[in-house]
Structure 1
Amino acid sequence: MGKSLYAAYGSNLNIGQMKYRCPTANVYGKGKLKDYQLLFRGAENNAYLTIEAKTASEVPVVIWSIQAKDERNLDRYEGYPSFYYKEDIEVELDTGETITAMVYIMTDKIKDRINLNLPSNSYLAAVKEGYKEFAFNLKYIEEALKISKN
């Protein structure tokens, strides 16, 4: 396995955290996952972002070009395959180009992770920092918090 493309929508938008986890990763571009929405799932005050299909919604993403070692590091961080599974997904880049990139989606294998809940303050801060670094609108996070609070 050589280089591949990875679509990040959560804490891996945070440049500092991503460079720590995946030192050889480089930003490939920014884009959107069409017909998906963000949600926080997990234990109370310990939920993490995931995506799920929802017509007429979108999720902003950063596409990282990663090496095999980076992907192994991400697999460990994301708890693959028990906590998150991987799926190849179409991403519409800001340039108008459509690419295929790997994305992590939360599984339903760990029962306390399937409930909608709110994240820890530190996780939320890391995600918001990534949103600011890439000039994404925080409305996506605010909407995910609103949905997940119920």
Structure 2
Amino acid sequence: MQQILLYFAYGSNLHPGRMASRCPAAKYLGPARLPNYRLVERHNADIDYAVGSTVHGALYAITPEDLSRLDSFEGYPKAYRRLSLEIVSVS
């Protein structure tokens, strides 16, 4: 059985075509939100802790291979960091 990871997409990864090309095995699970964070624009979309703010996005089930492809596209670990955060499903 293949390992499944939950991935919160925001910014440009909200585009269904972009996610399909980067993560072919990804399954869209529905809209989600990240409480107490805000979306910020640096060189790319990013998030910062901000009490009372919310980042709206989408929740996906992805494979470790999908995560590896995302890492390549997103420039991990230099351009992005991975965080384990509590996401709220809104479906």
**Which range, TM-score by smaller chain?**
over 0.9
Identity of counterpart residues, as a percentage? 36
1:79 equivalent in alignment to 2:68: no
Equivalence for 2:21: 20
Question: In the alignment, what sits opposite 1:99?
Answer: none
- 1:29 aligned residue: 30
CA distance in 1, matches of 2:40, 2:8: 16
Match of 2:56 in 1: 60
Q: Deviations over 1:87-132 (max 9, x none)?
A: 111011114xxxxxxxxxxxxxxxxxxxxxxxxxxxxxxxxxxxxx
Q: Unmatched 5+ residue regions in structure 1?
A: 43-47, 96-150
SS in 2 for 1:82: coil
Letter in 1 for 2:12: S
| Distance in 2, Cα, partners of 1:28 & 1:87 | 19
The aligned amino acid for 1:60 is H
Q: TM-score, normalised by structure 1?
A: 0.58
Normalised to the residue count of structure 2, the TM-score between the two structures is 0.93
1:31 deviation in Å?
Answer: 1.3
Matches within 5 A, 1:43-122: 48-95=44-91
What is the deviation of 1:30? 1.3
After TM superposition, give the deviation of residue 61 of structure 1 in Å: 1.3
Runs of 4+ deviating beyond 2 Å? none
Once residues 22 and 28 of structure 2 are traced to their aligned partners in structure 1, the CA distance between those partners, rounded to angstroms, is 14
Q: C-alpha distance in 1, partners of 2:28/2:79?
A: 25
Higher helix share: 1
Answer with 1 or 2: which has the greater Rg: 1
* Alignment coverage as a number of residue pairs: 90
**1:21 CA drift (Å):** 0.7
RCO greater where, 1 or 2, for CA within 8 Å and sep 6 or more?
2
Residue aligned with 1:84, SS: coil
Where does the alignment leave 5 or more consecutive residues of structure 2 unmatched?
A: none
- CA distance in 1 between counterparts of 2:83 and 2:52 reads 20
